[in-house]
Amino acid sequence: MIQRRFLAVLAAAACLCASAQAQTSWPDKPVRLLLSQPPGSGPDNIARLLGERLSKAWGQPVIVENKPGGQNVIGAQAAARSVPDGSTFYFATTAALVANAYLFKDLPYNPRKDFAPVGFVGKSPFAIVVDARSPIRTVADLVARARAEPGRVSIGTEGPRTFGGITARTFNARAAVQTNLVSYPSVGVALQDLIGGHVDAAVADVASSAQLVRQGRLRYVAVTSGKRVPGWEQVPPLADTLPGFDMEGWLAVVAPAGTPAAAIERFSRDLDAALKDKELAERIHAIGPRTEGAGTPAQFGAFLQQEHERWAQLSREIGLLPE
């Protein structure tokens, strides 16, 4: 009996030593941070800021690898199929981790099973934006015009099954209007067409549109989040006109399922510290998203569960069927 207890103590001590060693030795090689957006995009710029900061903390290069296209499917699939050895992580969006589950019948990855939560990065607000010369100045103006001319008021998005497209569709449903939703290959193209007068409005993330608004070429009518956005407090939320409206994108980091817990915990802890650094948080906010830290993997996992429940309800509300 004494011998068995002694062996059990030795085994437990060995596990603790192994865990401590993993905590201190990870990462022992470069870390890849995959993302589904192209170079120069808002998420890409944020990923590179974080990669630079984490590289200094870890003493290892953080390589940002862009795999855009397919409504986040290409990047998410590549991340899901990566070897779960702690060398690859995925800088993900709402679409990749939640929305795609309700948009596609046959995803080549499982958003709920193929990833382990690491930490939250920040909320990425969206807005309804118009040309600076547009007579549409408020949500009430947009709704009144859409009701007066059903099907003639046009709203540009990145596509009907993107976050912006679903937001525009939700706006139509809750405002009881019929706007013409025009699809574009990217938000940048949509905004240029908006400036050119080819559409009446657009749904775009603040990170992609803020510079054009600051330049006086575009104007925000409303943000799609439930509350006012820090830095854009003068822009009312859609919820002021459509109570309960709250569509806000977010960014987060996940790992391929099976990634060692020590690597996930270290990444999460260091990500949280980086995001709580005032200087870095301000640089991220200047791009668009706002952050309050990464939280813990468990907290982000609970958030993901809530998001799935919300999107399931939203899908029923607007009749969204996977294709």
pLDDT in tens, 170-188: 999 999 999 999 999 888 8
Give me the pLDDT at residue 323, please: 81
- State the CB neighbour count (10 A cutoff) for residue 112: 12
**Encoding tokens for residue 309?**
């429940």
What is the predicted pLDDT for the residue at 32? Answer: 98
**For the structural domain made of 23-124+248-318, what CATH number should be given?**
3.40.190.150
Non-local CB neighbours of 252 within 8 Å, separated by 6+ positions: 91, 92, 97, 117, 118, 119, 120, 121, 300
- Torsion region of 79: left, alpha or beta (phi above 0 gives left; psi -120 to 50 gives alpha): alpha
Helix (H, G, I), strand (E, B), or coil: what is residue 172? Answer: helix
Contact 157, 190 (CB under 8 A): yes
- Model confidence at 11: pLDDT above 50: no
CA dihedral 174, 133, 124, 63 (to 10 degrees): 140
For residues 308 and 312, what is the distance between their CA atoms, to the nearest angstrom?
A: 6
pLDDT over 90 at 12, yes or no: no
Q: Where are the domains of the chain?
A: 23-124+248-318, 126-240
Task: Output the pLDDT for position 16.
Answer: 41
- Is the per-residue pLDDT at 199 higher than 50? yes
Report percent pLDDT > 90 for the chain: 77
Assign 41 a pLDDT band (cuts: 50, 70, 90).
confident
pLDDT for residue 222: 97
- State the pLDDT confidence band at 270, using cuts at 50, 70 and 90: very high
pLDDT at site 178? 94
Where are the strands (E) in the chain, listed by range? 31-35, 62-66, 88-93, 115-124, 126-131, 154-157, 180-183, 201-205, 218-223, 249-256
**Mean pLDDT value across residues 100-106:** 90
Mean pLDDT of the chain: 91
> d(Cα 187, Cα 199) in Å, to the nearest integer?
13
pLDDT value at residue 113: 97
Check residue 88 and give its pLDDT. Answer: 98
Q: Tell me phi and psi for residue 199, to 5 degrees.
A: -135, 160
- Sign, CA dihedral 234-238-243-246, equals negative
Q: How confident is the model at residue 285 (pLDDT cuts 50, 70, 90)?
A: confident
Q: Residue 101: pLDDT above 80?
A: yes
Q: What is the pLDDT of residue 297?
A: 98
CATH number for the domain whose boundaries are 126-240:
3.40.190.10
Contact between 191 and 163 (Cβ < 8 Å): no
- Report yes or no: 268 and 296 within 8 Å, Cβ to Cβ: yes
| Residue 129 in this model has a pLDDT that exceeds 70 | yes
CATH topology of 23-124+248-318 equal to that of 126-240? yes
Region 91-114 average pLDDT: 94
Torsion angles phi and psi, residue 289, rounded to 5: -65, 155
Is residue 12 within 8 Å of 255, Cβ to Cβ? no
Confidence band (pLDDT; 50, 70, 90) for 298? very high
Beta carbons of 171 and 238 less than 8 angstroms apart: yes
Alpha carbon distances (Å) from 7 to 3, 18, 19: 6, 16, 18
Predicted local distance difference test score (pLDDT) of residue 117:
98
pLDDT in tens, 73-84: 999 999 999 999
Q: How far apart are CA 281 and CA 289, in angstroms?
A: 9
What confidence tier does 24 reach under pLDDT thresholds 50, 70, 90?
low
Name residue 202's beta-bridge partners: 129, 156
- Kindly state the average pLDDT of the residues 203-213: 90
Gyration radius (Cα) of the chain, Å: 22
Band the pLDDT of 321: cuts 50, 70, 90.
confident
